[in-house]
Structure 1
Amino acid sequence: MKFRVLIFTFFFLSILNCNSQKLKCCNTKDDVQRILKGNWVIKNNHSSEIYQYSFDGKNGQMNTFEKDKFENGRIPLNNHSSFIKLRRGLFGGFKIIYITLYGSRKSKIKYLDNEKMILETDLGELIEYEK
């Protein structure tokens, strides 16, 4: 019986370790904020949206702009920006929590460097962004 518990525990911890994201670029929230700050677009997408991340202390904001209007006065697509919080995951890595007037959602940061970001949505979809 003890052997089965030991095997189950090892198997469970192995699964958790495989699902945790180890960001080579970032060990702290400040590191993540520094790299995340700026303008991002979805890679290989013909959308006209730019996602602008900015931080003021612990909390941040994500605004969405149209590319053609971004240079001409930064006109938001929506009337409400998302407030964001960074949370360290239980087993490593970071999550972005987006908070709007209509609710909240989370994305796991699977990969992040100065030019590329991959987020995993609540539904398990991977979305690649580039600066």
Structure 2
Amino acid sequence: MGSQCDTLFYDGSCPLCTKEIATLRKLQRGSLMFVDIHQPDPDAGERPSQEQLLRRLHLQTGSGDWVIGLRANVRAWSHTRFGVLFKPLLWPGIYTVASRIYAAWADRRYDRKYQCAIGQSPDQS
């Protein structure tokens, strides 16, 4: 990772998410910034909707590109000395399986935590 700064958007009301962010904060090399998507941000500019940010992990690169889901997680961890351990998740074959697992986990987390808040029961599809 060069000296480029990335910004990771995370769900600050999710205990699992905040635990991982606390670990990333400790281990990162100063080139990763963090935004709790529940906190007001007057400088937010154009960014994905609140629902999109809650459904999948989002990272905005220093050049302004968006990286989403498993790729965002791998890129965030690349800001630490452990990043090399996450890179195989992007290899063909492994990525296909890992991204499906990530998507299923993320959908389940979102449905259990937020469906009632938007007026749907978790059983509705």
Normalization by structure 2: what TM-score?
A: 0.25
Return the structure number with greater helix share. Answer: 2
Q: Greater RCO between the two (CA within 8 Å, min separation 6)?
A: 2
Return the structure number with greater strand share. Answer: 1
> Which of the pair has more CA radius of gyration?
1
Normalization by structure 1: what TM-score?
A: 0.25
